[in-house]
Amino acid sequence: MKRKENRKKNAEFLPPLEKDRRILSLTDGDKYLDTEKLNRLEASFRTWALESPRSDIRLSRKRILLIFLLIRYTGAKLNEVLAIDPSCHIDFDRQLISIGGRSGSGREPRQIQVSAGFAGEIAKMLEDSAFRESIGKTLGIDPGFVRRKFYERAEALGYGKHLATPEMIRQSRAVELIRSNMPLPAVQMLLGHSTPNPASSYVSFSNKDIQRVTRFFMEKESARKTSARNSFFGKIRTIVRGTIQARVELVTISGYLVTTVITVGSLDRLGITVGSLVTAEVKAPWLVLQKGDQPQTTAENRFRGVVELIRRGDITCEYIVSLDDGTELCALVTRGAEDGLNLAEKAPVWVLFNGFAVILHLE
C-alpha cells in the first residue's frame, strides 16, 4: 500500500495501458515497416503513378496512390478507404476525413485529423476534372486489385508481400505514431479502437481535446522541424502561484503527471491556465537514469521504463528508454557515469528530472 501511495504522490505513472498497447501488436519480434521504409514505399507509388504514357492508366494509378496515401496517413482499413466519397467525406477547411459509419448501422463515423499539407494534396488531386470523374462517387474498386498493386510496389523495393498488405501499412502507421510519442489513446481513436478513459480522476480529455492532440502531432510530423522525443503532450491540471515562480502540473492522456516550475511572468505571458493544452519538453542531458526500486531523490518527475537502445560514443552514451505507453525518452550520459550505471538493453530503469528542467510550449 505504501509503495502504491508513493507512486501516486511522485507522479511517475498512473494506471498503465499495457492491455491497450497490445491492441497495436507492439510485441517484440513483430515485423512492420518503419518510417524510412514507409517513405520509400510512398515514393515508389508516386513515381509509378506518373510513369505510364497512357492517360487512362495514369488516372487508374493515381487512384491507387490516393488509396495508399489515405491508409498511410489515416490508419484506416482498406474497406473504409474504399467507401470514402471525397466530395462529402473530406472537410478540407478543417482537415478532417470521415471514416466508417453507415446508415442503419447505428455507428457514427469517426473524424480523422490529417495535416493541412496532406489535405491540400488531396484537394489538388481532385482539381483534375478527369481524375474526379474517373473516381465516381467513391474510391470503391476491387480490393483484390488494390492488394495486387500494393504487392507489386513492395516487391519492386525488395520488401516481402506480407509487409505491404493494407493491414500491415495500417499497423505500421500506428507504430510510427507511437514512436513519435503521440499519446496511445489518440492513436486508438484514429484507428477506430474503443478509447479508454484517461487514467486521471483530476482531468478529462474530451474527443475534441484528443482531436486537437492529433492535429498537433500531424502538423508536427508534416513540418518535421523537431524531434518528438522527451516531449509530453497534455492538459494543465493544477497551478500553484508563488511570488516569483509557479509550480505547474500537467497530465497526459496516458495518465502521466509532469511537474514544472516556471516564472509567474512566463505563466502570465503565455496565458497558461488550468485546462490549457501544452507540450512539456526536456533536453536529453537533463535526464538522469537510476537503477533499483523506488528512487530516493528530490526530482519531482520520476518515470519507470525499459532501456530499448544504447548508443555508445567516445564521450557520451545515448539511452533510449520506453515507458509503458510507448513514449520514448532520450538521455545522454557521460562515459564515466555510464560505466557506473552498468545498464543493458531491456533492463528496467528510472528516468528522473526536476521541474526546473521542463520547458512548456502552449499549443
Q: What is the pLDDT of residues 14-57, one digit of tens each?
A: 333 343 344 444 443 347 788 888 988 999 999 999 888 899 99
Query: Which of 2-16, 205-219, 246-260, 270-284 is predicted least confidently?
Result: 2-16
> Is the pLDDT score of 78 beyond 90?
yes
With 60 as the cut, is the pLDDT of residue 192 above it? Answer: yes
Compare 25 and 100 and report the one with higher pLDDT: 100
Domains of the chain in start order, with CATH, are 22-191 (1.10.443.10), 282-352 (2.40.50.100)
Q: Which of 223, 247, 242 is nearest to 360 (CA)?
A: 247
pTM, full prediction: 0.62
- Closest CA relative to residue 251, chosen from 13, 16, 20: 13
Instruction: Using alpha carbons, list the distances in angstroms from residue 24 to 35, 36, 81, 177, 276.
Output: 16, 20, 20, 11, 29
Over residues 117-142, the pLDDT tens digits come to 888 999 999 999 999 888 888 898 99
Rounded to 5 degrees, φ, ψ at 312 are: -100, 125
Note the pLDDT of residue 17: 38
User: What span, in angstroms and rounded, lies between the C-alpha atoms of 358 and 37?
Assistant: 33
* Cell numbers linked to 359: 520547458
Q: How far apart are CA 177 and CA 87, in angstroms?
A: 28
pLDDT at 19: 36
pLDDT at 316 over 70: yes
**Higher pLDDT, residue 279 or 352:** 352
List, for residues 198-214, the tens digit of each pLDDT value.
444 345 667 777 777 77
